[in-house]
Structure 1
Amino acid sequence: MTLSELVDRIERISAREAGVVVIGIVGAPGVGKTTLAEQLMASLNQNKPDPDQQRFAHVPLDGFHLSDQELARLGLLERKGAPETFDEHGYAALLKRLRGRRDSVVYAPGFERTIEQPIAGVIPVYPSVRTILTEGNYLLLDRPGWRQAQAQCTEVWYCEQDENLRLDRLIQRHILFGKSPAAAAEWVERVDEPNARLIEATKNRADLVIRVE
């Protein structure tokens, strides 16, 4: 589907549903979920330049990464990015809150890649927002916490891409944010790819499969 077709789909769903709509975007690491979400947001909010008048907001899972300090305490630092390295219950709770009545701004956490850490309160979701885009690798995972998050979604879309292109982009992203080429390739093979296979196994539960370039 083209970007304009996806925008039309979101707008149709938003017009049809009485309450707040949540569209989940799932896919393996490096597939381009964030890029797609940002492109959708730019199109959906193009006629509403003032943030407090916009009807669409982007709230990614990345803000629910556990901190490196907590991952080290749990012995999970070398598995960062795996399902158990997120606060999935907190993520589900935020999505549920965003679907409810909101008379004031709700602040969601974000993630700063330059320091590879979550940061609290950096994503404002205004009361005018009626549709949330949320990208998260494990929204279709059949496990406690993740099931609760999926239950808050109106639809969940699965993104796929040419594997060689995805892997190359993923390695380059790790290099960009500080890993050596060898360390980046090793991390992708040891950590990212087992996660990618886990995510791929959930594809049949998606409402829509999208091929991204």
Structure 2
Amino acid sequence: MTSATKKFSPYLHFTRDEWAALRNSTPLTLSEAELGKLQGINEHVSMIEVTQIYLPLARLLNLYVDEVKNLYEATHVFLNTSARKVPFIIGIAGSVAVGKSTTARIVQALLERSSDNLRVDLVTTDGFLYPNRILLERGIMERKGFPESYHINALIQFLSDVKSGKPKVTAPVYSHLVYDIVPDQKIEVCQPDVLILEGLNVLQSPSHSSSKRHPQVFVSDFFDFSIYVDAKEDHVRHWYEERFQTLRVTAFRQPEAYFYRYSTLTKEEAHQVALDIWDRINGENLHENIAPTRNRADLILRKGRDHSVQSVSLRKL
């Protein structure tokens, strides 16, 4: 990176060591056993990673939560109205298999264990995918995860209700095993202090070729803070194949699994299928829709091949 690029970057850039030094005295409140339960398939997040990367992040988020709360209270004082509890919303974006779900769960756990005893809910945008029957009717089953596969108006209504302080808001439930929305199951969100929304396209901006179908409000409009989990594509593709190979001999072997047919593949056959799926679907979605939103995030976590975060970029105020 040239000095000119650094000079005009909207971000402050930190090496791993520089970021770790910002932990200050934030206590480590997760045990090794608890951390193990938060990790995704084929991921290993060490306690060192939590200490050097996630504790400074938790400290920063706690500071932001406090300041936004103070701002809301000051606004209500000015307006002479009673303050309603409004959740602080964190958006977490990134590619399939990059580890954003693990990041979301670790951030949730650390915020819940902070000195402020925050109530933190976690919702994924998977629940707002259209059911398979609708995707099939529209001929976009292989576009699942692309922007058009989401019931975006329902997601925006959900966030609007949460942000307006409604006592109870519900979100649909998605099963990765059956690869579909689970009928009659809902997640309840009841005025948490913090809501984390994790998903592929949560940072998507308005389309330049906007049509009448595009909403006037966007998911990212509701965020108080946003995180993008980043890595080189060849690393992410490798992690995706590793996960596919693991699922081939575990979850895919359950008869009710949508991908049960893949459980009989040999390792080499699975390798070819995984790469084909990546090239046709996940890689294309990354290039077209996900990666272009990276620089809209407030904070970028850049991972190395071993899943550890190598550097952090924080947007300047």
> Same fold, TM exceeding 0.5?
yes
Matched, 1:184 2:184: no
Matched, 1:11 2:62: yes
Match of 1:57 among 121, 126, 132: 121
Query: Which runs of structure 2 are paired with 1:34-183 in the superposition (5 Å)?
Result: 34-46=101-113, 55-103=119-167, 105-119=168-182, 121-127=185-191, 129-143=192-206, 144-145=214-215, 148-175=218-245, 176=247, 177=252, 178=259, 179=262, 180=265, 181=270, 182-183=272-273
Alpha-carbon displacement from aligned partner over 1:61-88 (angstroms, at most 9, x marks no partner): 1111111110000010122111111111
Residue 30 of structure 1 aligns to a residue whose secondary structure is coil
Which stretch has the larger CA shift, 106-115 or 165-174?
165-174
Provide the TM-score with structure 2 as the length reference: 0.60
Partner of residue 22, structure 1: 89
Match of 2:98 among 27, 31, 48: 31
5+ long unaligned stretches in structure 1: none
Which stretch has the larger CA shift, 154-163 or 138-147?
138-147
- Contact 2:204–2:219 at 8 Å: present in 1 too? no
- Contact 1:58–1:132 at 8 Å: present in 2 too? yes
Match of 1:203 among 284, 294, 315: 294
State how far apart, in whole Å, the 1-side matches of 2:302 and 2:185 are: 32
- Contact 2:205–2:218 at 8 Å: present in 1 too? no
The letter of the residue matching 2:188 is: P
Residue 59 of structure 1 aligns to a residue whose secondary structure is strand
Provide the TM-score with structure 1 as the length reference: 0.87
Shift of 1:7: 1.1
Q: Whose relative contact order is higher, 1 or 2, with alpha carbons under 8 Å and at least 6 apart?
A: 1
Residue 96 of structure 2 aligns to a residue whose secondary structure is coil
Runs of 4+ residues over 6 Å off in structure 1: none
Partner of residue 193, structure 1: 283
Alpha-carbon displacement from aligned partner over 1:7-64 (angstroms, at most 9, x marks no partner): 112211111113321111111111111110011112222379xxxx962111111111
Alpha-carbon displacement from aligned partner over 1:165-210 (angstroms, at most 9, x marks no partner): 3112212334414345132221111000011112111222221111
Shift of 1:123: 2.1
- The alignment covers a number of residue pairs equal to 207
Could you say what the CA RMSD is over the residues aligned between the two structures, in angstroms?
A: 2.2
Which stretch has the larger CA shift, 25-34 or 201-210?
201-210
| Identity over aligned pairs, percent | 24
5+ long unaligned stretches in structure 2: 1-18, 20-52, 73-85, 207-213, 253-258, 308-317
- Contact 1:27–1:33 at 8 Å: present in 2 too? yes
- Contact 2:158–2:170 at 8 Å: present in 1 too? no
